[in-house]
Amino acid sequence: MNELVEIVGLTKAYDAKNVAVNNITLTLPRGKIIGLLGPNGSGKTTLIKMMNGLLTPNQGSIKINGQYVGVESKAHVAYLPDRTYLSGGQKISQILDYFCDFYADFSKEKALEMLHSLNIDPSVRLKTLSKGNKEKVQLILVMSRQADLYILDEPIAGVDPAARDYILRTIINNYNPEATVIISTHLIGDIEQVLDEVIFMRYGHLVLYTSVDNIREQHGKSVDAYFREVFAC
């Protein structure tokens, strides 16, 4: 049982004309950092939401760790949504306690340590932080869990390049060889150095699933350059 995620014939249509995810079949291994890449509206977030049980597929199935997506699977998936769901009025320390209650695999020590290294005071309210620091706090919450699968939806959008480096370092340093990290983003050039594999999506279809080294070897191009070629407008 080496496969972590098994997606079979997955389809989600918001209405008859708007098929966001169209018959995707995909198997993802453990221990990889995988980029989920595609232009706007290609179905990345819809796919991610189905993996987290936030949307119900019209057809097909997703298994994580051999279990269908549900209450059980959520205990093993750490999800960073594209929009925050935390309330700004809460103090960071309260949010940490909240996560402790919610997730058995959450390490408060780890979270405090990372906050400390970023000079973020846990006693302040979330809304007093800058946009970049808010994003960092949310990433810290997600990466402080000991999950099997981390799904990060646009984790580096809207932060400065130095913060981006910090976020990528956080992902690498907390990475556990038994777990897989899926990162969805448009900023390919910034993250391709840490990716093992990439998934390309377009109009809800799976266009390509391959390793980064493959793209570089076969096409002599960076993933960024190859993406621009495949998705040229």
CB of 196 to other proteins, least distance (A): 5
The footprint of other proteins on residues 77-106 (CB under 8 A) is none
Which three-class secondary structure string do you get for the chain? CCEEEEEEEEEEEEECCEEEEEEEEEEEECCCEEEEECCCCCCHHHHHHHHCCCCCCCEEEEEECCEECCHHHHCCEEEECCCCCCCCCCEHHHHHHHHHHHCCCECHHHHHHHHHHCCCCCCCEHHHCCHHHHHHHHHHHHHCECCCEEEEECCCCCCCHHHHHHHHHHHHHCCCCCCEEEEEECCHHHHHHHCCEEEEEECCEEEEEEEHHHHHHHHCCCHHHHHHHHCCC
Angstrom distance (rounded) from CA 231 to CA 73: 33
CB of 229 to other proteins, least distance (A): 12
Residue 118 found at the interface with other proteins (CB under 8 A)? no
Based on CB atoms, which residue is closest to other proteins, 61 or 117?
A: 117
Instruction: By CB under 8 A, name the one of 196, 203, 209, 210 that touches other proteins.
Output: 196
Instruction: By CB under 8 A, name the one of 168, 179, 183, 199 that touches other proteins.
Output: 168
Query: Interacting stretch for other proteins, rule CB under 8 A, among 38-46, 100-108, 152-160, 188-196?
Result: 188-196
Q: Mask of contacts with other proteins, 2-41, x by CB under 8 A?
A: -----------------------------xxx--------
Based on CB atoms, which residue is closest to other proteins, 128 or 176?
A: 176
CB of 209 to other proteins, least distance (A): 16
Residue 202 found at the interface with other proteins (CB under 8 A)? no
Interface residue list for other proteins (CB under 8 A): 31-33, 165, 168-169, 172-173, 175, 177, 189, 192-196, 212-213, 216-217, 220-225
